[in-house]
Amino acid sequence: MASGFFAILDDIAALMDDVAVTSKVATQKTAGILGDDLAVNAEKATGFLSSREVPVLMKIMKGSFINKLIIVPVVFFLEWLYSPAIKFILILGGLYLAFEGVEKIIEFLFHRDKKGHEVIEEATEVADESEDSEKVKVKSAITTDFILSLEIVIIALAAAKDGYEALKSQFDPFLVEIVTVSVVSIIATIGVYGIVALIVRMDDAGFKLIKKSKGKGFVAKIGKLLIDALPWVIKGLGIVGTIALILVAGGIFDHNIDFLHHSLPTWNEALKQVVFGLAGGLIGVALFTMGKGVVSLVKRK
């Protein structure tokens, strides 16, 4: 009885060794997309009242976990049932990410400064609909996270397959792959949102340092620096997040559409992805605008 128990423990240890190897490979392969995920989600998680930042972040993090609970089994099922479907889903997801990125660029370039009465009206609407506004922003963040999580899971699965081939494992490849992808998904969620939480609470940390040092000395200067830096960090994350959306989308198009992958062979890879992402985003904006027009016509009738 005891020997059987220790044999099970030995098997678990051996499996964890294999998973550690494949997870290392998968984490390295997903490092780029995790950086984009961090930038996008940090930008999405900012812009709330200080008292709502952590609760909102927890809602988005919970949504991210649910996203991965849905995505992981679906991806494995599609991989078994009809693997080309994964590529099609990725392209649709890339179109959505490109649309979000280009929409932000268009809003920045063509945003009209509001007059005094418009600012007052908007402030009143925000005050009256703050809860609804928060729900909309959280939903948008979770939707974007879904697309990025899908990319992470698929890349992790491909990397797990590569890592398994390099092993002389006694375990079924499916078992190693599903444990690896699950581990990478958990690490990605906790790691990304843990860093985001640190970023959005920079100002609170600064206030505490100033209070603790009674506003004097080097510690107080560090606190003031954290407070002053937060708006710039948020603006920077907004820019980086938008670029990340374009790059991630362009990378999806580049790696999953053969025609685009083999076009512009002399171009720099990042530049190609920016061009593909912008083009996809403009197509997405055009489709969205046309859709809105159709809906407006239907409502008038």
Q: What is the mean pLDDT of residues 107-111?
A: 81
Q: What is the mean pLDDT of residues 11-24?
A: 69
The number of beta carbons lying within 10 Å of the beta carbon of residue 157 is: 21
Q: How far apart are CA 231 and CA 242, in angstroms?
A: 17
42-46, 77-81, 237-241, range with greatest mean pLDDT: 77-81
- Domain layout of the chain by residue ranges: 2-300
Q: 82 falls in which pLDDT band (50, 70, 90)?
A: confident
186 has a pLDDT exceeding 80: yes
E strands present in 131-199 = none
pLDDT the model gives residue 280: 92
3-state helix, strand, coil in the chain (%, to 5): 90, 0, 10
The residue with greater pLDDT, 30 or 151, is 151
Cβ distance 13 to 106 under 8 Å?
A: no
Q: What is the mean pLDDT of residues 259-282?
A: 88
pTM: 0.70
What percentage of the chain carries pLDDT values higher than 90? 5
Amino acid residing at 199: I
Q: How far apart are CA 7 and CA 13, in angstroms?
A: 10
Burial class (CB within 10 angstroms; exposed 0-12, middle 13-18, buried 19+) of 115? exposed
Please tell me the least confidently modeled range out of 49-53, 144-148, 222-226.
Answer: 49-53
266 has a pLDDT exceeding 90: no
Q: How far apart are CA 196 and CA 237, in angstroms?
A: 10
pLDDT the model gives residue 129: 47
176 has a pLDDT exceeding 90: no
278 has a pLDDT exceeding 90: yes
Token pair, residue 270, equals 């990042």
Q: What is the mean pLDDT of residues 183-194?
A: 84
Please tell me the least confidently modeled range out of 163-172, 217-226, 269-278.
Answer: 163-172
pLDDT the model gives residue 88: 85
279 has a pLDDT exceeding 90: yes
114-128, 130-144, 220-234, range with greatest mean pLDDT: 220-234
Cβ distance 47 to 133 under 8 Å?
A: no
Got the DSSP string for 39-55?
HHHHHHT-SS-HHHHHH
Please tell me the least confidently modeled range out of 32-46, 122-136, 140-154.
Answer: 122-136
The residue with greater pLDDT, 30 or 157, is 157
Q: 182 falls in which pLDDT band (50, 70, 90)?
A: confident
User: Helices 84-110 and 269-300 sit at what angle, rounded to 10 degrees?
Assistant: 80
pLDDT the model gives residue 196: 80
Burial class (CB within 10 angstroms; exposed 0-12, middle 13-18, buried 19+) of 72? buried
The residue with greater pLDDT, 111 or 288, is 288
- Phi, psi at 214, each rounded to 5°: 60, 30
Q: How far apart are CA 169 and CA 121, in angstroms?
A: 65
